Amino acid sequence: MAGSLRRASWNRHLLHAAAAQAPAGMTIEVFDALAAVPLFDEDLELAQPDGPPGVRALRTAVAAADGLLIATPEYNHALPGVLKNALDWLSRESPQGEVLTERPVAVLGASGGPWGTRLAQASLRQVLHTCGALVMPSPTLFVAHAAQRFDAQGQLADPALQASLSRFMQAFAAWIGRVAVPA
């Protein structure tokens, strides 16, 4: 999933570009309904133990996946609130269990500026570690100057980034194979 609600999000473009580089045997399903996840509220959780519909959809998608790939924007040197909110829901006990615990996760991100979401990814990793996710340590991928990497249709227009994404996705497939806990 991409941690942005923006229609022309660089991070959504990046996620699709990463999916296109998935190695043989790996299928990426893009979760694109983050806007339907309400603000976390323990009262809401108590009233609906299975979670509101938007949360159930997110949780079901994560629980069904062998791994979770997150493309994060950077807001004020941290992960955006919409993404943190989704992770807060996912961190809770549910009929599907705590779905981030022991789940292989890889993070990447794109920003318009020169730092490519370094601080957002650091804060995202901190949250994921707290939730017990198994976060791929390397390679890292910080996409700076995002406007120069995609064309007007949001298609990747940077062969060097394409090669990096291909290596990144191969590493993620290997990471899942290495750390996945048998069901």
Ligand X SMILES: Cc1cc2nc3c(=O)[nH]c(=O)nc-3n(C[C@H](O)[C@H](O)[C@H](O)COP(=O)(O)O)c2cc1C
Q: How far is the CB of 97 from ligand X (least distance, A)?
A: 30
121 binds ligand X (CB under 6 A): no
Show contacts with ligand X in window 44-103 (CB under 6 A). 73-77
Tokens representing residue 100 in the block: 């981030």
Contact status, residue 67 vs residue 176, Cβ threshold 8 Å: yes
150 binds ligand X (CB under 6 A): no
Alpha-carbon distance 36 to 120, whole Å? 23
167 binds ligand X (CB under 6 A): no
Residue 86's alpha-carbon distances to 40, 63, 140, 174, in angstroms, are 8, 14, 22, 26
Q: Which is nearer to ligand X, 143 or 176 (CB)?
A: 143
Site string for ligand X, 4-23 (x = CB under 6 A): x-x--xxx------------
* Strand pairing class (104-110; 68-71): parallel
Size of interface with ligand X, in residues (CB under 6 A): 14
Q: How far is the CB of 5 from ligand X (least distance, A)?
A: 8
Q: How far is the CB of 73 from ligand X (least distance, A)?
A: 3
Residue nearest to ligand X (CB): 73
DSSP 8-state secondary structure symbol assigned to residue 145: S
Q: Which of 159, 168, 176, 177 is nearest to 71 (CA)?
A: 168
The residues binding ligand X (CB under 6 A) are 4, 6, 9-11, 73-77, 111-113, 115
